[in-house]
Chain A
Amino acid sequence: GAVVSQHPSWVICKSGTSVKIECRSLDFQATTMFWYRQFPKQSLMLMATSNEGSKATYEQGVEKDKFLINHASLTLSTLTVTSAHPEDSSFYICSAPGAFQETQYFGPGTRLLVL
Chain B
Amino acid sequence: EDQVTQSPEALRLQEGESSSLNCSYTVSGLRGLFWYRQDPGKGPEFLFTLYSAGEEKEKERLKATLTKKESFLHITAPKPEDSATYLCAVQAGVRWGKLQFGAGTQVVVTP
Contact = CB atoms under 8 A, between A and B. Distances in A.
Given A42-B103, A43-B102, A102-B49, A107 B43 contact: yes
A106 B101 contact: no
Contacts of A97: 96-97
Contacts of A34: 97, 99
A1 interface: yes
Nearest to A43: B101
Contacts, number: 53
A108 B42 CA distance: 5
Contacts of A43: 87, 101-104
Given A34-B97, A103-B46, A109 B102 contact: no
Contacts of A54: none
Q: Which of A103, A109, A111 has the most CB of B within 10 A?
A: A103
Contacts of B97: 32, 34, 49, 97, 104
Contacts of A101: 96
A70 to B, nearest CB: 18
Contacts of A44: 44, 87, 89, 99, 101
Q: Specify the main secondary structure of chain A where it touches its partner.
A: strand
B61 interface: no
A109 B49 contact: no
Nearest to B6: A43
A73 to B, nearest CB: 19
Interface of B: 32, 34, 36, 41-46, 49, 87, 89, 96-104
Given A34-B99, A102-B49, 16 more contacts: A4-B43, A32-B97, A43-B87, A43-B101, A43-B103, A43-B104, A91-B41, A101-B96, A103-B34, A104-B34, A104-B46, A105-B46, A106-B36, A106-B44, A109-B42, A109-B43
